[in-house]
Amino acid sequence: MNGDGSLERLRREGRIVVVGASLAGLRAAETLREKGFAGSLTMVGDEPHEPYDRPPLSKQVLLGVTTADRTALPRRRDLDATWRLGVAATGLDMAARRVRLADGDEVPYDRLLIATGVRARPWPRPDEAELDGVFVLRTRDDSAALTRRLADGPRRVFVIGAGFTGSEIASACRERGIAVTVAERAAAPLVGALGGVVGAVAAELQREHGVDLRCAVMVTALEGDAAGRVRAAHLSDGSTVETDVVVVSLGATRNTEWLAGSGLGAGPRGIACDAGCRAFDIRGIVTDDIYVAGDVARSPHPLFGYQFLSLEHWGNAVCQAEIAAHNMLSESADRLPHMWVPAFWSSQFGVNIKSVGVPSMGTEILVAQGSLTDRRFVGVYGYQGRVIGAVAFDHARWLPFYQHLIETTAPFPPPFPLVDRRPDGQRPIDADFPDPSLPTHGPTVTLSGYSPADRRMTFTPAH
Amino acid sequence: MTQSPLHQILDYANRANPYPIYEELRRTPVHHDADGPYVVSTYYEIRSLLHDPRISSDARNLASTASDPLAESAEEGNTLPPSFLRLDPPEHDRLRRMTNRPFGPPHSPHRIDGMRGELGDIVSGLIDGIGDPGRIDLVEQFSYPFPVTVICRLLGVPREDEARFHTWADTIAASLDPDPDADPGERGKEANDARMQLGMYLAGLIEERRKHPRDDMLSHLATAEGPDGAMATMELLSTAALLLIAGHETTVNLVTNGMLTLLRNPDVLRRLRAQPGLAVPIVEELLRFEPPVQLLPQRTPLTDIEVQGVTIPKGASLWLVIASGNRDPKRFENPDRFDPDRRDIEHLGFGSGIHSCFGAPLARLEAQLALSELARRLENPRLLEDPPPYRQNAVLRGPRHLPIACDGIRP
Ligand SMILES: Cc1cc2nc3c(=O)[nH]c(=O)nc-3n(C[C@H](O)[C@H](O)[C@H](O)COP(=O)(O)OP(=O)(O)OC[C@H]3O[C@@H](n4cnc5c(N)ncnc54)[C@H](O)[C@@H]3O)c2cc1C
């Protein structure tokens, strides 16, 4: 491969296929062209739409500030690609280097980028999930349909799951004056991602905005009327909530089923890849022609003990896509590692929430600036004596500082005075994450701790 | 005799072009002379210090306030309390948030854009009144009266009172210039007196607005009852004084520097004439290239901090030379080139972090309207003096006069 001119040939007349035509796929394709790739580029996407942006779908779109069809991602440059939209990839032949499509076509490649992302986890009982008025929110079509229903003025919306998306939906409903009940299995909203201390703040925020928040309960069943419309939700505490719209926000499932049997190391937890975005096969051997980026990827991060991280973060998708594109066209010595420090934002109930690092790895939290009672603060997460993450509620401008602490493995708790340090923040306290062996729906970061060199690494086949 | 870089920055002889000194300065990202402030001049270091919660803007945290001419020392009874510019959170956040309610999103999202037509009328009026096109002092005839008129309207200060607050504003602005030869105590006292008098003047207006509120910011600030409650009267006076002064002492330089730069780059001026929308990127590049606030001389660490191998001790005076950071070749390609087509332009012209310029949306709009209209209406404009005479101030740097001529003024 190296030094024999094949890389030059690839750049000039190679074939690159990108499966998954969304944020990561688009940014990778743009980067390929930017880096001088002149060969043929094929973009395969199962959605019929050109690449669009998801964060507004649970925010501005639900509020009616914009519409779902106006979320197309801005293009950084002309792509000159063959678009295969509305067609899913259904299989991969690694030996022959071909991607099979749902319409029977096969597309050959010299390099493949997999950016198939995740999809919303549906309500597990199909007959109930199919009731009219039961929604999930992942795609543009989901968002348009839900927005239409909200515009009809439902009496009450019932949200299952108080992760980021569920909380944002509840927030949008309240802002529109719609009654909302949120049911959450954990003790508070956002607990999986940010822990119980911050979760308690989020709970207060919701209640203060008139959300009927029910924590530590499970939804046991959804009930429909004779016409097949949802009319009530039943909870594990024996209560029933009458509702005409249910939004299921139970996190996401990785889109890897199409790779079953291909020999690629793809499973329900995503596709494992190295720090340079190259996919592993099921034997744990890194491939040289298949790359992964975005929500579907799991990659080891040096800053976090080489743990394999799956990040459902916008910024991660962009950065990883750019690195993958660069590496695809580079000699091994010129490849770059994907070392993006995780960062995430959300806005709900008028509060801007931002995090850096991996708060969910933290065991302790220190309210370093501001105060929990004011709901304006920076919480710093500590793990084994070092700073591992930080979250800001309406205090985002300080986060670059904390990112630097994370990047330099600064000691926890930070030993120096800071502006706006309050009595709340004199000592670290238990961050109060739920027992990791108990599942909560969709924390935005999931960790699974096998290093690439770990002999015990096992492959879990797709279900 | 070789002067220390610090003296060179302050030396009036270098006012017209301080950039070579900044270039020199950047070789020592953290510069320190005995007894002097710690001067930081490189982009990434400045940026990270602006986001560093160990850095305070509150003069009370300086080891010795006596040596800080800017200290708005609150001990003496006859002075205004510090404005939010010189406070740390949570007081800073509370006051800035309350001030923002009648000014910007989310509560007043259209305030600034809603002034577009009015601003356009003021610009046209001033250009119409220029008179002899053969000799124009752009500062006196345009770039000073424009922002003053705007800030008066926005706040609800009678434009006729300009003569009264002008002197106070001048004294306060001059006190921002850390002139090493002036007696800091004396200057501090003068500045405090001026702030107090300005405050008393504003107190009168505010009293009046309380009784008869109008749709201006003073009325809103005086009568509003948000979630943070109402501002205490003294806080309100400090805030109003800050807005009045910051609202014009900086924009005048942005507009003047802008026209000067355009006249030195005639191709850009030509493009702007044909395409007024270009004013948007031109103003952004200007904020990088010739920022109206050159340095922020009012920070101090709450603890010893290390920057590029230098320990800046707790309580030391810390200067951030943003105009130098804006020309740091480690951050910007060809930094000394004025290039409105630059895409990657995250400049420090408005600062960054929690103290980033409160009035930025207004300043941007004013400069965009002013420059595109001047470009459109002045026929064949040219500089009569290059460089023009500058103001004394090294912090709020800009020409004192900008003599230009043109062949005529288009309708
Ligand atoms: C409602 C919502 C709000 C969000 N808000 C935020 C936020 O505030 N901040 C933040 O940081 N992140 C947010 N995110 C997350 C962010 O949008 C994702 O991280 C990002 O979209 C990931 O991009 P991706 O390209 O990896 O995956 P995706 O955007 O999921 O794209 C994958 C694409 O591949 C397609 N695909 C799947 N399988 C196949 C196949 N077999 N063949 C062809 N195509 C296939 C999918 O249909 C999809 O179009 C939000 C996400 C959602 C859904």
HSE-up (13 A, CA, CB side) for residue A200? 11
Highest mean pLDDT range out of A141-150, A419-428, B155-164? A141-150
Q: What is the pLDDT of residue B360?
A: 97
In this prediction, residues A205-225 reach a mean pLDDT of 97
In this prediction, residues A378-386 reach a mean pLDDT of 96
Q: What is the ipTM of this complex?
A: 0.85
Q: How confident is the model at residue A304 (pLDDT cuts 50, 70, 90)?
A: confident
Cα gap B140→B230, rounded to integer Å: 38
Q: What is the pLDDT of residue A148?
A: 97
Q: What is the pLDDT of residue B184?
A: 67
Q: What is the pLDDT of residue A443?
A: 41
Query: Which residues from A are below 8 Å from B when comparing CB atoms?
Result: 350, 368-370, 374, 376, 378, 397-401, 404, 416-420, 422
Structural contact between residues A171 and A149, judged by C-beta atoms closer than 8 angstroms: no
For the CA atoms of A269, A271, A274, A278, what is the dihedral angle to 10 degrees?
-170
Structural contact between residues A180 and A326, judged by C-beta atoms closer than 8 angstroms: no
Instruction: Check residues B183 and A307 and name the one with the higher pLDDT.
Output: A307
Does pLDDT of A61 surpass 70? yes
Does pLDDT of A157 surpass 70? yes
For the CA atoms of B6, B12, B16, B21, what is the dihedral angle to 10 degrees?
-20
Cα gap B199→B235, rounded to integer Å: 10
Does pLDDT of A450 surpass 50? no
Cα gap B97→B99, rounded to integer Å: 5
Sign of the CA dihedral with A360 first, then A363, A366, and A370 last: positive
Q: Cβ-count burial of A110 within 10 angstroms (0-12 exposed, 13-18 middle, 19+ buried)?
A: middle
Q: How confident is the model at residue A442 (pLDDT cuts 50, 70, 90)?
A: very low
- Residue B125's CB is within 10 A of a number of other CB atoms, namely 12
Q: What is the pLDDT of residue B226?
A: 82
- A297 Cα nearest atom in ligand 1: 26
Which residues of chain A neighbour B98 with C-beta distances below 8 Å? none
Structural contact between residues B278 and B271, judged by C-beta atoms closer than 8 angstroms: yes
Which residues of chain B neighbour A370 with C-beta distances below 8 Å? 89-90
Successive 10-residue mean pLDDT values, chain B, 411 residues: 79 96 96 92 96 96 63 54 94 95 92 95 97 96 96 95 90 80 74 90 94 94 87 93 92 97 98 97 98 95 96 96 97 97 95 96 97 98 97 95 97 93
- Checking DSSP bridges between strand A230-235 and strand A240-242, what pairing results, if any? antiparallel
Does pLDDT of A139 surpass 70? yes
Structural contact between residues A264 and A290, judged by C-beta atoms closer than 8 angstroms: yes
> What percent of chain A shows pLDDT beyond 90?
86
Picking from B53, B90, B106, the nearest residue to A401 by CB comes out as: B53
Spacing, Cα A293 to ligand 1 middle (Å): 11
Closest alpha carbon to B291 in B401, B223, B367, B384: B367
- Residue B184's CB is within 10 A of a number of other CB atoms, namely 18
Q: How confident is the model at residue A236 (pLDDT cuts 50, 70, 90)?
A: very high
Cα gap A462→A257, rounded to integer Å: 6
Nearest-CA distance A201 → chain B (Å)? 18
User: What predicted TM-score, i.e. pTM, was given to this entire model?
Assistant: 0.89
In this prediction, residues A138-156 reach a mean pLDDT of 97
Picking from A350, A400, A417, the nearest residue to B54 by CB comes out as: A417
Spacing, Cα A317 to ligand 1 middle (Å): 9
Tokens 């197309």 map to which residue?
A: A72
Cα gap B138→B404, rounded to integer Å: 7
Spacing, Cα A194 to ligand 1 middle (Å): 21
Structural contact between residues A392 and A344, judged by C-beta atoms closer than 8 angstroms: no
Look at A369 and B53 and tell me if their CB atoms are within 8 Å. Answer: yes
Look at B51 and A401 and tell me if their CB atoms are within 8 Å. Answer: yes
For the CA atoms of B275, B279, B285, B290, what is the dihedral angle to 10 degrees?
120
Q: What is the pLDDT of residue A437?
A: 62
Cα gap A428→A408, rounded to integer Å: 20
Structure tokens at B121: 């009328």
Structural contact between residues B219 and B209, judged by C-beta atoms closer than 8 angstroms: yes
Instruction: Report the residue among A54, A146, A159 best suited for mutation to probe ligand 1: largest number of ligand atoms under 8 A from its CB.
Output: A54
User: pLDDT tens digit string along A317-352?
Assistant: 999 999 999 999 999 999 999 988 999 999 999 999
Mean pLDDT of chain B: 92
User: pLDDT tens digit string along A246-282?
Assistant: 999 999 999 999 999 999 999 888 999 999 999 999 9
Cα gap A200→A216, rounded to integer Å: 13
Q: B19-44 as b/e, with b when 16 or more CB fall inside 10 Å?
A: bebbbebbeebbbbeeebbbbbbbbe
- Residue B382's CB is within 10 A of a number of other CB atoms, namely 12
